[in-house]
Amino acid sequence: MNKESPFSIEYDINNTTDAQSSIPKDKEASDLIKEQIESDYQLSKPRRKLIRARIIL
């Protein structure tokens, strides 16, 4: 199983089999990805991010 985050660009690139889609057509690969995304999704709810930065003019 791929260890990259399923939400990363690298993951999409490495798992794309169809130039028109980011979803692999192979069922086994798709199941594996689905499992991984499901487990991530179980943990992944909408989340807040706070960013603070000093403005340099």
Partner 1 sequence: MIKIKTRKEARISQGDIYKDVEFIEYAIERKGVIEISKIVFPFVVVLTQDCDLNQDYTVRWARTDTPNHDKKLFSVIVAPLYNSEHFYNGEHLSALGMSMAEIKKEKTPGKNLKQNQTPRYHYLEFPDSVPIVPSVIDFKYYFTVNVEYLKKHKRDNFVCQIGTLYREDVSQRFSSFLSRIGLPER
Shortest Cβ 19–partner 1 spacing (Å): 9
The HSE-up count of residue 31 (CA atoms within 13 Å, CB side) is 2
Which residues share a beta bridge with 28?
none
Compute the least distance from the CB of residue 30 to partner 1, in Å. Answer: 6
Element holding 45 (H helix, E strand): none
Told to check if 7 binds partner 1 by CB under 8 A, we report yes
CA distance 36 to 41: 8
Binding residues (CB under 8 A) for partner 1: these are 6-7, 9, 12, 18, 20-23, 25, 27, 30-31, 33-34, 37-38, 41-42, 44-55
